Amino acid sequence: MSNLIMSVTPGKMGELLKSYLVKEISGTPVSKTFPIVFIERITDFISLVLIALAGAYLFNFGRAIVLGVGIFFIIISIILSNRKLALPLIKLFERIKFLRRHLESIHNAYETSYILLQPLPLFYMTMLGIISWSFECFAYYLILINFHMKISFLWAAFSYGFAIIVGAISMLPGGLGITEGSLTFMLVQNNFSKDLAVASTFLIRAVTLWFAVLVGIISVTFYQNRYGKITVEPI
């Protein structure tokens, strides 16, 4: 859980910290484990797209963005899970002088990605992603109905999923500003007061994003007490 301290980073890619922690404990090369973080992001996006897709059509809002993001990550998944497509691309990258020094790391990273993106592992990870993100959507729904807003769970799930997607593709740390703005805007568009929109947005971000960061801080403290100070070395 220590990597949760890096939740407020562009696209959560700061969670690569977990690869360094695994290396410190087990000696496993970072190149072998960092694709796990990358694949997590892919399955996160696919899960969120599946959650938001029905709402995007039903409420006629954000369909192009949701579909575009979904298609983009499905294409990436197809390429990485097919050696006939991926290996020629890797060979093209090998022509870049800087990357030649990291050939072993590149191939290690691809092998991990290839394994994780096979149909069965991808299915399991996506289903787990849908379940976990649905809990956050449900938390948002509970906040809204406790403000006496007449909102369906489907709308809450769509709006929350859509806002997270938009915030993530903005590549701002934690989607800060974009995610909050999207949540507030959609509530105001549904004729709820700005005060309620801002308050509910503040609460859901506090109990998801910032709570995760707090868990990360506490976990890092325990980690360093057990294993010593975290030191980041070159890959």
Per residue in 7-25, pLDDT tens? 777 766 677 788 888 888 8
The gap between the terminal CA atoms of the chain, to the nearest Å, is 22
pLDDT digits (tens, 9 = 90+) for 204-225: 999 998 998 999 899 989 988 8
Q: Partners of 123 in the beta sheet? A: none
pLDDT digits (tens, 9 = 90+) for 117-147: 999 999 999 999 999 999 999 999 999 999 9
- pLDDT for 148: 92
- SS in 3 state form for 210-232? HHHHHHHHHHHHHHHHHHCCCCC
- Give pTM, 2 decimals: 0.86
Sign of CA dihedral 179, 209, 9, 31: negative
- pLDDT for 134: 96
